[in-house]
Amino acid sequence: MTSAKSDRVLIFDTTLRDGEQSPGATMTHDEKLEIAEMLDEMGVDIIEAGFPIASEGDFAAVSEIAGQAKNAVICGLARANLRDIDRCWEAVKGAKFPRIHTFIGTSPLHRQIQNLSMD
């Protein structure tokens, strides 16, 4: 991982996951690998490579990116449940610096569906 100094901003890139959320902005497997390699070479500190449980393609891309990155932290996104977290770990565990990002939906609709309160 690029060494962090307290007076430096860390670059956290979500292009490979969030970048595909825009209509018509899909990437092939090879394009994801190429972009990840360029981000790593540019010195991006953290690359969120994908959402491994979303599809076999996403899992494969995250796994391969994890295996090829030389400097960046490679992370996958997972909902806050064991199935997602286990699948994400399987994808990122080959990274020099693996990380898992978890999230919980906070909108009233998400909380209602998941039977969560504001507490």
In this prediction the pTM is 0.82
- Give yes or no for a contact between 39 and 70, defined as CB atoms under 8 angstroms apart: no
The values of phi and psi at residue 116, to 5°, are: -105, 145
CATH architecture of structural domain 12-113 = Alpha-Beta Barrel (3.20)
Encoding tokens for residue 109?
């609709």
What are the tens digits of pLDDT across the range 22-64? 788 889 999 999 999 999 999 999 999 999 999 999 999 999 9
What are the tens digits of pLDDT across the range 60-92? 999 999 999 999 999 999 999 999 999 999 999
Encoding tokens for residue 31?
């394009």
pLDDT category at 7 given cuts 50, 70, 90 is confident
Provide the residue ranges of all domains of the chain, joining segments of one domain with +: 12-113
Encoding tokens for residue 76?
């996958």
Question: Rounded to an integer, what distance in angstroms lies between the CA atom of residue 108 and that of residue 45?
Answer: 34
